[in-house]
C-alpha cells in the first residue's frame, strides 16, 4: 500500500505486477479507483458552466454519452483531464483526478458561484460513491451475468444507471484507463464491498493495483496527469488536439483558446511522442538525445512493457523529431538506449 492524495492505495495484490498486467490483457481485472473525484453539475445552465472551463463540445453530447476533456488555463496549460457525461437524468456526471481534487473542486465551485451571481441556474454536488473499474477483454461477459441491461447496447463512452449484482443505483460507464474494453462502475458506498465480492467470485476476475494500472495505460499511450501533461503543457503539445470540439475551436470560447487554436494551424515547439527501446528501461526524467548526442527532450513516463517484451515510454521532443520511426537516444545510468 502507498499513500496518494490522502488515500492509502494498493500497488499490487498477491499476483506479481507482470502477472496482474497480463491477466488484464487476457481476462479482466478489478481496480478500486474510489479515490477519483466524482461530481454532479446540476441546473439548466450546467453545460454553460462546463464549457466555460473545458475545451470539449459538451452541448453536442447525446443523453448518457461522455467524452474525455481538459480543464485549461488562460495560458493554454492543462489543469487536469476529466470525463464528462451528459446524463439522461438531467445533470453532468464528472470524474477527475484525485491528485487534483482540491484544485478541480475549487475551479468548479468558483465558477458555480460566479454564474449563480449572474442569476444562472447551476449547482454542484460531490458524489460520495465508490468507483470500481472492471477492465479486460472478458469484462463485459463477466458483468453481463449481474445486470438485466444488454451490455452490447452500451458502446464505448456511454453510460447507464442499473442494478449490478443486486446493488441498485449503479452508474456503469463503458470506458477505462487500460486500453482494453471495460467499465467503470460508480456504486453507492454501502454496496461497494458486496459488488466487488460478487465480481471476484468469477475466476476470470482478479484484483489489480496501481503498478499494473500504470503499465497498462502507458502501453496504451494514455497520459498520467502531473507526469505527461500539466499546467505547462498545451493540448496540442500533448498530442490531445482531438479533445478540442470543432464548434469550440471556431468560437474560441474556452480558457486559453487564443494560445491553443493558433497552435493547431501553426507549429508548436514540442510534442508528446511514444518511445520503444531494447535493453534497460527508460524512466521519467531521463534525457532524450538526438543521434548526435545533443539533449532535445525528456522522458515523462517509462517502464518495461509486459505485453510487448520491450521498454515503452513517452516524452516530449521538438516537432522535427516527432515523426513515427525517428531514431533517438535516451540517456540512462547504465548508458544510452536506442
Residue 156 has pLDDT above 80, yes or no: yes
Bridge partners, residue 161, by sequence: 171
Burial of 201 (0-12, 13-18, 19+ CB in 10 A): exposed
Given a contact cutoff of 8 angstroms between Cβ atoms, the answer to whether 73 and 255 are in contact is yes
Residue 192 has pLDDT above 80, yes or no: yes
How far is residue 121 from each of residues 112, 115, 124, measured CA to CA in Å?
9, 8, 11
The pLDDT value given to residue 279: 84
In this prediction, residue 278 has a pLDDT band, given cuts at 50, 70 and 90, of: confident
In-domain check, residue 143: yes
Residue 337 has pLDDT above 70, yes or no: no
In-domain check, residue 232: no
Which residues have CB under 8 Å from 212's CB, separation 6+?
12, 17, 20, 21, 24, 29
Residue 299 has pLDDT above 90, yes or no: yes
Domain count, the chain: 2
Residue 338 has pLDDT above 70, yes or no: no
Residue 310 and residue 194 share a domain = no
Residue 69 and residue 194 share a domain = yes
Residue that terminates a domain, selected from 181, 200, 216: 216
Residue 154 and residue 12 share a domain = yes
Domain enclosing residue 33, as ranges: 2-216
Phi-psi region of 75 (alpha: psi -120 to 50; beta: other; left: phi over 0): alpha
Tell me which residue has cell 446524463.
87
Distance CA 308, CA 311 (A): 8
Residue 177 and residue 64 share a domain = yes
In-domain check, residue 248: no
Which residues have CB under 8 Å from 221's CB, separation 6+?
179, 274, 314
Work out the mean pLDDT of the chain and round it to a whole number: 96
Residue 11 and residue 73 share a domain = yes
pLDDT digits (tens, 9 = 90+) for 213-268: 999 999 999 999 999 999 999 999 999 999 999 999 999 999 999 999 999 998 89
Question: Average pLDDT for residues 324-329, to the nearest whole number?
Answer: 96
Residue 63 has pLDDT above 80, yes or no: yes
In-domain check, residue 260: no
Give the count of beta carbons closer than 10 Å to the beta carbon of residue 2. Answer: 11
Residue 173 and residue 24 share a domain = yes
Question: Average pLDDT for residues 41-57, to the nearest whole number?
Answer: 98
Residue 288 and residue 153 share a domain = no
Residue 283 and residue 191 share a domain = no
Bridge partners, residue 184, by sequence: 133, 173
C-alpha angle 276-205-305 in degrees, rounded to nearest 5: 10
The pLDDT value given to residue 333: 76
In this prediction, residue 5 has a pLDDT band, given cuts at 50, 70 and 90, of: confident
pLDDT digits (tens, 9 = 90+) for 101-131: 999 999 999 999 999 999 999 999 999 999 9
Residue 41 has pLDDT above 90, yes or no: yes
Question: Average pLDDT for residues 167-192, to the nearest whole number?
Answer: 98
In-domain check, residue 103: yes
pTM for the model stands at: 0.96
Residue that terminates a domain, selected from 191, 216, 241: 216
Residue 336 has pLDDT above 70, yes or no: no
Pairing state between β 205-207 and 270-277: unpaired
**Domain containing 107 — which CATH number?**
3.30.70.1400
| Cα 286 → chain centroid | 24
The three cell numbers locating residue 184: 467503470
**Domain containing 317 — which CATH number?**
2.40.30.110
The pLDDT value given to residue 105: 98
Residue that terminates a domain, selected from 174, 189, 216: 216
Residue 120 and residue 211 share a domain = yes
In this prediction, residue 306 has a pLDDT band, given cuts at 50, 70 and 90, of: very high
In-domain check, residue 192: yes
Residue 210 and residue 281 share a domain = no
Binding residue per annotation — 102?
no
The pLDDT value given to residue 208: 98
The pLDDT value given to residue 335: 66
In-domain check, residue 36: yes
In this prediction, residue 136 has a pLDDT band, given cuts at 50, 70 and 90, of: very high
Residue 132 and residue 18 share a domain = yes
Residue 164 and residue 37 share a domain = yes
In-domain check, residue 233: no
Amino acid at each position: 500500500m502507498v499513500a496518494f492524495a490522502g488515500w492509502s492505495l494498493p500497488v499490487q495484490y498477491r499476483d506479481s505486477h507482470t502477472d496482474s498486467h497480463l491477466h488484464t490483457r487476457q481476462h479482466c481485472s478489478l481496480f478500486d479507483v474510489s479515490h477519483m473525484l466524482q461530481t454532479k453539475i446540476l441546473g439548466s445552465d450546467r453545460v454553460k458552466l462546463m464549457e466555460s472551463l473545458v475545451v470539449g463540445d459538451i452541448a453536442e453530447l447525446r443523453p448518457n454519452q461522455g467524452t474525455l476533456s481538459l480543464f485549461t488555463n488562460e495560458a493554454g496549460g492543462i489543469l487536469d483531464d476529466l470525463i464528462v457525461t451528459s446524463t439522461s437524468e438531467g445533470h453532468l456526471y464528472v470524474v477527475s483526478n484525485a491528485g487534483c481534487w482540491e484544485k478541480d473542486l475549487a475551479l468548479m465551485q468558483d465558477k458555480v458561484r460566479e454564474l449563480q451571481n449572474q442569476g444562472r441556474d447551476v449547482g454542484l454536488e460531490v458524489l460520495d460513491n465508490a468507483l470500481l473499474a472492471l477492465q479486460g477483454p472478458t469484462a463485459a461477459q463477466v458483468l453481463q451475468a449481474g445486470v438485466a441491461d444488454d451490455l452490447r447496447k452500451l458502446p464505448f463512452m456511454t453510460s447507464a444507471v442499473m442494478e449490478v449484482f443486486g446493488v441498485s443505483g449503479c452508474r456503469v460507464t463503458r470506458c477505462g484507463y487500460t486500453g482494453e474494453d471495460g467499465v467503470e462502475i460508480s456504486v453507492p458506498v454501502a454496496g461497494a464491498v458486496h459488488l466487488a465480492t460478487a465480481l471476484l467470485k468469477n475466476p476470470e476476475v482478479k484484483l489489480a493495483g496501481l503498478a499494473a494500472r500504470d503499465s497498462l495505460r502507458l502501453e496504451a499511450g494514455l497520459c498520467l496527469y502531473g507526469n505527461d501533461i500539466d499546467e505547462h503543457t498545451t493540448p496540442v503539445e500533448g498530442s490531445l488536439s482531438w479533445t478540442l470540439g470543432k464548434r469550440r475551436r471556431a468560437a474560441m470560447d474556452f480558457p486559453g483558446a487564443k494560445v491553443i487554436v493558433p497552435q493547431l494551424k501553426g507549429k508548436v515547439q514540442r510534442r508528446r511522442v511514444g518511445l520503444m527501446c531494447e535493453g534497460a528501461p527508460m524512466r521519467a526524467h531521463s534525457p532524450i538525445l538526438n543521434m548526435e548526442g545533443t539533449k532535445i527532450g525528456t522522458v515523462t513516463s517509462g517502464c518495461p512493457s509486459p505485453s510487448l517484451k520491450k521498454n515503452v515510454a513517452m516524452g516530449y521532443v521538438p516537432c522535427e523529431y516527432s515523426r513515427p520511426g525517428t531514431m533517438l537516444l535516451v540517456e540512462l545510468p547504465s548508458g544510452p538506449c536506442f
